[in-house]
Chain A
Amino acid sequence: MNALNRFGPLFAALLVIVLMSLAMVVARTSPIEGFTALLTGALGGPNQLGETLVATSALLFPALGICLAFRAGLFNIGAEGQLLIGALFAGAAGAQLSIPGPLGIVVLLVLGAIGGGIWGGIAGWMKARFDANEIISTLMLNFVAAAVALALVSGPLKGPLATGAETAWLAPAYWLPILIPHTRLSAGLLLALVIAAILQWVFRATVFGYELTAGGEAPEAARRSGINISRLTWIALTLSGAIAGIGGATIVTGELHRFNTQLSPGYGFTAIAVALVGDLQPLWICVAAFGFGILESGGLAMQASAQVPKDTIHIIEGLIILVLAARRYVATRVEKVQAA
């Protein structure tokens, strides 16, 4: 069981391969053909690699936010809403403001963090103040976020030339630089990697990281060690939302260059699987995000050439969460038997 825990990410990768093979067999495709299609679609050329890394980046921000909350023992499943509000803040400001050049980009990213932070912070405040279950409040705030965003960009924030629910386009001065020429991959990915490194350092070396993890692992022991648990709760959920919010802002400034209510196909939910597969270790989460990026961007190619529906990918993502949850359950059971 210990070995299983230590190799959680590898175990999950193996599981994905087995489950996908099964899905392909069910769809009457040879797994070799299916995986070839998947990998070619995801990594076959600069364009494909670019799209894979775009998805990696979009998943990595909310996954890192979720990682921080989970480490503090808080099941933030509201990353989707936090990401959306972050994107909305950046998109709305970007379409209205005129701050010159690089500073403007920084301002938009900070606004993204503030938006996501507020959204996470609401759940944190409700938990600290009224002991409201964060699983329910963060989940429900996803719906509120979607409704608020839709209302705003259908009305007051709607771009003058927009046909759908979206803001006006951002001036090119606010666009994040592109990393691989002729792809959509922006410097947002680098920012995500920097945040991952910072988080790893925070958990390993700082008093804050220590107290955060203590609160998550053993709340009563943490409280008795003088840690203010309710303060920790709202700080953790605010930061968690802020990281997801920056992710939303990088989608706006890096790829879409405007805010659109459809900008996330559920990154905030897939990110839960990413964080869990990455064993809540920021550096492993980067690897996991890349793996899920491959699935996201290769899925379409797989559907086209191997007749395996793209939705299979989402089924498998769901199964991964279930299996990882079961794995933790089994691990605690084994521990209990050992203790007896």
Chain B
Amino acid sequence: MNDRPALELRGIRKAFPGIVAVDGVDLTLQPGEIHALVGENGAGKSTLAAIAFGELQPDEGSVAANGTVGLVHQHFELVGRLRVWENVLLGREPRRGWRIDAEAARARVLDVAQRNGLEIDPDAIVETLPVGVQQRVELLRELDREPSVLLLDEPTAALAPSEIEAFFATIVRLAQRGTAIMIVTHKLQEVIAYSSTVTVMRHGKITATMPTARTSIDAIAQAMVGGEVPALAAREERPRTPVLRVRDLRCGQDERRIDGISLYVASGEIVGIAGVEGNGQSTLADCISGMTNFDGSVEIEHGDRPKMGVIPQDRHREGLVMGWSIVDNVILGRQEALRRGALLDRDRARVEAALIEERFDVRAANLDVAVRTLSGGNQQKIVVGRALIDQPALILAYNPTRGIDVGAAALVQSRLIEARNGGAAVLLISFELDELLTVADRIVVMYRGRIVGAFDRTHFDRTHFDRTAIGRLMAGSQ
């Protein structure tokens, strides 16, 4: 081991048309350190990671790595139908003549796994494995190249709490053996728990680098936002009457399957669905929003309000027409409300779009720009604003703050709480337990298509016991 840094970035600048993603960044990774890189969406973290890995060329500046650099992507890049060892050695298969030497390959994968303390069946078909194990495969693929620098882009986004612990145990072990690790993340709890240094990016620049031991979640969040994190709207209690009644719902297959779900949501409350991605949440949402056929019953008591406002899971694909203006997107899903005979009342849509722009602090040059040109946070504000504008009786929100920055997330959460205060029933499906603990009045835990537990705000209000209990249920243990 010498004293040279494992990775040294000097004066990195990278511009894309219309935006400087990374602007004059210096960053040094020492062997054996776990360096957390945090920042709001669009701060330039992923671009910087791609430059460090060599996937992108910087416009200016230099990258010097002492050894190989590995990158584990946020979204797994695995071939589901192939075996574990085939995925780990994809493109580097040991050969015997024209053929792949399967035995040597298996032995090599087992060896890498053993040396890094990872348990794996090299012959398992990847798509049959739980997400946490797939992550291990992804990690093994990089470890096989014996990297001296390992970059991890949002590595725990899809993992259950217990899987996250196991994952970091491996990472800490790697660091102890001298690998330099950089974790791009937005989960500040993990930053505090596992990293040794934390660097905060904002608008393409580094705004703070500090030893983790001498900082706090609040300090990091402030550096990310560039000021105080806005406070959430206060709760007001009002009489509750049932709005959504779901009885014995059955639908879908495999990881989309739901198997006998019953729940209710009353006006003036937010019910949170906790669970790791892929436990039937999207099927539940599809059944309630009428996007699929199902067994069982879904009743919505909406009185004289419009029935439902939906914040869909994937705003790009399901929520917005990316090439269209803000005004035209505000119409989507509300064509009937804006219909005047055969015509569409675009003037009213424009007034409503202006209202959403104001209430949600949407940053756009004007209402006629294509939503594609807006940041993810601003796009999401339009989706949320549109779902709330007609004051529906039921609001179905699916990860409404996923992938948007802290400030925008707080605003979206506040508007949901205000809608609840105004008598809406809110069903909030989220993969972020912290979000549910902050916002929900009740939390229902989903695991493999069933409801495995329910918690009330008077109980869980940030008590450690319930947090652990919910986390266990999410991972499938009692």
Give the B-binding residues of A (Cβ under 8 A).
205-208, 210-211, 214, 217-218, 220-227, 334-335, 337-338, 340
Contacts and interface: CB of A to CB of B under 8 A. Distances in A.
Contacts of A340: 16, 47, 50
Given A210-B331, A224-B289, A218 B321 contact: yes
Interface string B321-340: 11110001001111110110
A112 to B, nearest CB: 24
A218 B329 CA distance: 11
A217 B344 contact: no
B247 interface: no
B358 interface: no
Nearest to B46: A340
Max chain A Cβ within 10 angstroms of own Cβ: one of B291, B312, B343:
B343
A206 to B, nearest CB: 5
B349 to A, nearest CB: 10
Contact of B342 (A206, A221, A222, A227): A206
Max chain B Cβ within 10 angstroms of own Cβ: one of A218, A220, A338:
A218
Given A207-B344, A221-B318, A337-B16, 19 more contacts: A205-B344, A206-B344, A207-B335, A207-B339, A210-B328, A210-B331, A210-B335, A218-B317, A218-B322, A221-B332, A223-B291, A225-B333, A225-B334, A226-B335, A335-B372, A338-B16, A338-B19, A340-B16, A340-B50
Contact of A224 (B312, B322, B335, B338): B312
A224 B343 contact: no
B17 A217 contact: no
A214 B321 contact: yes
Contact of A206 (B17, B318, B343): B343
A338 B18 contact: yes
Nearest to A206: B342
Contacts of A338: 16-19
A214 B335 CA distance: 11
Given A218-B317, A218-B322, A338-B17, A224 B310 contact: yes
B335 A225 contact: yes
B78 interface: no
B395 interface: no
Contacts, number: 63
A326 B310 CA distance: 37
B319 interface: yes
A224 B291 contact: yes
B271 interface: no
Max chain B Cβ within 10 angstroms of own Cβ: one of A207, A223, A334, A338:
A207
A142 B429 CA distance: 49
Contacts of A218: 317, 320-322
Contacts of A205: 343-344, 346
B56 to A, nearest CB: 8
Max chain B Cβ within 10 angstroms of own Cβ: one of A221, A223, A225, A335:
A221
Nearest to B17: A338
B318 A208 contact: no
B372 A224 contact: no
A340 B310 CA distance: 27
Contacts of A207: 335, 338-339, 342-344
Nearest to B332: A225
A256 B322 CA distance: 46
A207 B317 CA distance: 21
B320 A221 contact: yes
A224 B319 contact: yes
A208 B338 CA distance: 12
B89 to A, nearest CB: 28
Nearest to B291: A224
Given A206-B344, A207-B342, A220 B321 contact: no
Contacts of B320: 218, 221
B343 A211 contact: no
B344 A226 contact: no
Contacts of B312: 224
Contact of A214 (B17, B317, B332): B332
Interface string B297-326: 000000000000010100001111111100
Contacts of B19: 338
A232 B322 CA distance: 20
A223 B312 CA distance: 12
Nearest to A219: B317
Interface string B242-283: 000000000000000000000000000000000000000000
Interface string B44-56: 0001001000000
B333 A226 contact: yes
B336 to A, nearest CB: 8
A221 B289 CA distance: 13
Given A206-B343, A224-B318, A211 B335 contact: yes
Nearest to A227: B335
The 4 closest A-B pairs by CB, nearest first: A225-B333, A218-B321, A225-B332, A217-B321
A221 B317 contact: yes
A217 B333 contact: no
A207 to B, nearest CB: 5
Contacts of A224: 289, 291, 310, 312, 318-319, 333
Contacts of A206: 342-344
A206 B339 CA distance: 8
Nearest to A334: B17
B333 to A, nearest CB: 4
Interface in B10-35: 16-19
9 contacts: A207-B343, A208-B342, A210-B344, A217-B323, A218-B322, A221-B317, A224-B289, A226-B335, A335-B372
A85 to B, nearest CB: 28
Contacts of B336: 226
A15 to B, nearest CB: 24
Contacts of A208: 342
A221 B319 contact: yes
B305 to A, nearest CB: 17
A335 B310 CA distance: 28
A33 B346 CA distance: 51
A224 B312 CA distance: 9
